[in-house]
Amino acid sequence: MSATGSEVSGRDELEEVAERYAVAITPQLQELIDAESHDGPVSRQFLPDARELDVDASELDDPIGDAPHSPVPGIVHRYPDRVLLMPTRICAAYCRFCFRREVVGRRPDGLLSASELAGAMRYIRDHDEIWEVILSGGDPLVLSPRRLRRILDELRSIAHVRVLRVHTRVPLVAPDRIGGELVRILRAAAPLFVVVHANHDSEFTAAGEAACARLVDAGIPLLAQTVLLRAVNDDPETLERLMRRCVENRIRPYYLHHADRANGTAHFRTGLDKGQGIVADLRGRVSGLCQPTYVLDIPGGHGKSPAGPGYVRTRSGSTEIRDFEGRWHRFEDG
């Protein structure tokens, strides 16, 4: 049977998406996608969608403003005491809503050159206000253990760098990479925190949970970051399941990100008021251990700002506090 015109058009659009933005899906993710018949919360995060070709006038190539704060290749220095170090632009799998989608997966190797990496390290050494270095990208855990060890060892040799952080999806999307050698390398760089990106509880397979356990059992603290996404997790019940699943796996929820205005991602974004309502609902539903901070990256490079609902107000000269059920109570301050 020959394909219909609409089917051919649909294939052409998806090919155009794949030409414009990086696409990669791991075997672990493919199993989850097949299990939900290519139409579920995991599929929506990773399968190309023709709507990615629709660019809203308010969308940006660099929605969180990395470029103005990048003094040398591989470094983003937005906040006084910490920098991002991006040794690779490659990921194990590419999120369809990625705020760096215009730069990730675009070079064949995706690595900083030796001279670029040396320049990034030199910048960190020369700025003694830098207390924390956050490895991001790209996903730093796609690097070979040898390369990652070399980077971490050099960072650990810089006296004023006291804390390291690694942002990654690898433990859940490619859990086999979390082997004994990698765990030992990360443990040797302590204090080092691993921040795992997860948006739906179905991402926690048995293999993924085992990979996270290998890290925690080695003494590596895990945090979680999540992006609020329409038709993936934009309701209190789904986020409750996810946050509980994180804590049950000894992963502390850290950030709930409002989706950024990256090109071709309007179909993922919710209104800020909806996010605030969900966060307010979570406050009364789950333990404090399960509460992420709802944040918005201000477009233009102005950094993250808490975007959660307000719990304190002043009315007629009196201070009032809102409880988890939405009721306001007078509070005598001082």
Helix (H) or strand (E) holding 6: helix 5-20
Which residue is associated with the tokens 């705020």?
A: 99
Query: Do residues 205 and 175 make contact, with C-beta atoms less than 8 angstroms apart?
Result: yes
Out of 20, 51, 82, 241, pick the active-site residue: 82
Assess whether the previous peptide bond of 303 is cis (omega < 30° from 0): no
Our answer to whether residue 79 is catalytic in this structure is yes
- Annotated catalytic residue: which of 51, 125, 274, 304? 304
| Token output for 145 | 């253990």
d(CA 142, CA 307): 32
Does residue 297 have an active-site annotation?
yes
78 catalytically annotated = yes
| Catalytic-residue membership of 51 | no
Name the catalytic one among 79, 125, 254, 261. Answer: 79
Cis peptide before 191 (omega within 30 of 0): yes
Q: Are 164 and 133 in contact (CB under 8 A)?
A: yes
Whether 12 is catalytic is: no
Catalytic residue among 21, 49, 94, 98: 98
- 212 catalytic? Reply is no
Catalytic residue among 44, 78, 149, 165: 78
Phi and psi (nearest 5°) for 158? -90, 115
- Among the options 44, 89, 96, 100, which is catalytic? 100
Q: Which of 95, 212, 246, 290 is catalytic?
A: 95
Residue from 260, 269, 281, 283 carrying the catalytic annotation:
260
Given the residues 49, 91, 123, 290, the one annotated as active site? 91
**Residue 223 forms beta bridges with which residues?**
195, 252
User: Does the annotation mark 304 as catalytic?
Assistant: yes
- Residues noted as catalytic: 78-79, 82, 91, 95, 98, 100, 260, 297, 304
